[in-house]
Amino acid sequence: MSEMNGKYPEDMGLRDAPMIEGEHDYGTVTDKIGSIVLDRPSPRQWYIWGGIAGICLGSFLVSFCWLIYKGVGVWGINNPCGWGFDIINFVWWIGIGHAGTLISAILLLMRQRWRTSINRLAETMTLFAVCCAGLFPLLHTGRPWVAYWLVPYPNALAIWPQFRSPLVWDVFAVTTYLTVSALFWYVGLVPDLATLRDKAKHKLAKIGMGIMAMGWRGSAAHWHRYEAAYLALAGLSTPLVLSVHSIVSLDFAVSIVPGWHTTIFPPYFVAGAVFAGFAMVLLLVIPIRKWYGVADFVTMRHMDWMAKIMLATGLVVFYGYLMEMYYAWYSGNQFEIALASNRLSGDYKFWYYALIFCNGLAPQVLWSKRVRHSLTGLFVVSLIVSIGMWLERFVIIPVSLSHDFMPSAWGGYTPTIAFGDVMFFLGTFGIFLGGMVAFVRILPMIPMSEIKHLLHLEKHESHPAAQAETVA
């Protein structure tokens, strides 16, 4: 990264750095990434995290069974706070689930090639995060075994879902999101599965990968349709990502509860989701690239970009906080004003200030290039942001519910710990971590075919044919 010498560099600073480091050709890319799945022994950390995931899964099973046996009363929810950890965690997990598809889809559409090495990991993260998220509202219904009532089908009671309720919109949004993300993820995997099929020595791996690869043979005609379908999926997923968290925000905004009924909610929730999602991607990528030695493909340039996106979305979130306060005052509405002052000086004020620190102030260090280029710095900021985004949902939900219109109906919210809210929440990390641990072991975490394409482009970048197009 030589600094300026009077002429324009290819790119400033780190953007000088290549997206693929080290000496690689198509074969070594395949070996380096494919062998993690096929024949390399897992690093020690893999067993450690597998163990942690196992413990969390155990705590999940215990608290899940207890919940089903006793009912939602084992959670801290009460009247007036009918929504507590369940909805906080739902929104938190689904927010995390947004970076995956966003990284893949938007960056593909913008032809941001740096996405290539992190998109698979991020998409997988999305799938497991959305699974964790979906559990909460499902169980919060109290009778999850009749959850199919949420689906519009003609039934004996002649009753339909109530389409004017955002909670029903949520059902459609979350299931669509999960389905489309899974399709996008699988379509992206097919060429790599074919690579593994052809590379695998073990009969079982060959058959398994072969079935999943659907007989992909890399035909040019197939690639062409594949690219069209993949782009179409990206084009569909991008607004889908925005719509899902917007609809989640409408769960709140469509009501008239003070602090919830505000028009900024959709974009502000979406920005928060992307913010939290990128923080979680960084939390996963920073250790994984080290343990698996894939730093050649996930370079500092990727870290820098992700940090910048975190900074930008963090600013939007902060903007949301400012707007909430300003317009609470501007409205002149006594309930809105009371809610704002309750946030600033009420029972939960500590959490509000913690939130402002975590999401508003701490990410501002990302303006500094030094922090963006320090793995430790990024890791710490990401951790703070993840906590901050959880606090945001906490501040939105119990603070508004516990003090709404009538003082006689005011209350408070305390989560239960053992066998309750906290244990269940920790349990969902078992699903998430367990899923990720299994994924890095059985599927290629970096898309090999796309890395090869990138390699090809970097090799032939100066090719005049690439720029020879003229206006039609």
Q: Considering only residues 376-435, where is the footprint of other proteins by CB under 8 A?
A: none
**For other proteins, the closer CB: 159 or 406:** 159
Q: Considering only residues 424-453, where is the footprint of other proteins by CB under 8 A?
A: 448-450, 452-453
Whether the CB-CB separation of 86 and 140 falls below 8 Å is answered with yes
One of 112, 155, 368, 414 touching other proteins (CB under 8 A): 112
Whether the CB-CB separation of 434 and 53 falls below 8 Å is answered with yes
Q: What's the min distance (Å) between Cβ of 89 and other proteins?
A: 22
Identify the CA nearest to 83 among candidates 342, 401, 385, 359. Answer: 401
One of 240, 288, 294, 389 touching other proteins (CB under 8 A): 240
64 binds other proteins (CB under 8 A): no
One of 131, 147, 150, 183 touching other proteins (CB under 8 A): 183
**For other proteins, the closer CB: 44 or 111:** 111
12 binds other proteins (CB under 8 A): yes
Q: What are the residues whose beta carbons fall under 8 Å from the beta carbon of 106, sequence distance 6 or more? A: 234, 238, 241
The rounded distance, in Å, linking the Cα atoms of 47 and 179 is 30
220 binds other proteins (CB under 8 A): yes
**For other proteins, the closer CB: 98 or 431:** 98
The region of 10-18, 35-43, 339-347, 351-359 touching other proteins under the rule CB under 8 A is 10-18
Our measurement of the distance from residue 35's CA atom to the centroid of its chain's CA atoms, rounded to an integer in Å, reads 27
Taking CA atoms, 384 is separated from 193, 307, 381, in Å, by 37, 13, 5
The single-letter DSSP state of residue 411 is -
The region of 57-65, 172-180, 401-409, 416-424 touching other proteins under the rule CB under 8 A is 172-180
Helix axes 220-253, 166-199, angle to 10 degrees: 150
One of 36, 74, 87, 242 touching other proteins (CB under 8 A): 242
Q: What's the min distance (Å) between Cβ of 66 and other proteins?
A: 34
One of 267, 346, 412, 435 touching other proteins (CB under 8 A): 267
**For other proteins, the closer CB: 16 or 47:** 16
DSSP class per residue in 222-247: HHHHHHHHHHHHHHHHHHHHHHHHHH
**For other proteins, the closer CB: 7 or 370:** 7
One of 70, 143, 202, 224 touching other proteins (CB under 8 A): 224
The rounded distance, in Å, linking the Cα atoms of 218 and 221 is 8
Q: What's the min distance (Å) between Cβ of 347 and other proteins?
A: 25
One of 58, 239, 287, 411 touching other proteins (CB under 8 A): 239
**For other proteins, the closer CB: 47 or 330:** 330
39 binds other proteins (CB under 8 A): no
Q: What's the min distance (Å) between Cβ of 194 and other proteins?
A: 5
460 binds other proteins (CB under 8 A): yes
Q: Considering only residues 332-351, where is the footprint of other proteins by CB under 8 A?
A: 332-333
The region of 319-327, 341-349, 354-362, 429-437 touching other proteins under the rule CB under 8 A is 319-327
The rounded distance, in Å, linking the Cα atoms of 206 and 107 is 32
Identify the CA nearest to 126 among candidates 46, 228, 241. Answer: 241
Whether the CB-CB separation of 199 and 30 falls below 8 Å is answered with yes
**Could you give the count of Cα atoms lying within 13 Å of 94 in the half-sphere of its Cβ?**
32
The single-letter DSSP state of residue 297 is T
Q: Please report, as a single letter, which amino acid is at residue 109.
A: L
204 binds other proteins (CB under 8 A): no
Q: Considering only residues 245-264, where is the footprint of other proteins by CB under 8 A?
A: 246-247, 250, 253-256, 261-264
22 binds other proteins (CB under 8 A): no
**For other proteins, the closer CB: 197 or 403:** 197
SS (H, E, C) 17-78: CCCCCCCCCHHHHHHHHHHHHHCCCCCHHHHHHHHHHHHHHHHHHHHHHHHHHHCHHHCCCC
Q: What's the min distance (Å) between Cβ of 284 and other proteins?
A: 25
The rounded distance, in Å, linking the Cα atoms of 171 and 158 is 20
Q: What's the min distance (Å) between Cβ of 165 and other proteins?
A: 8
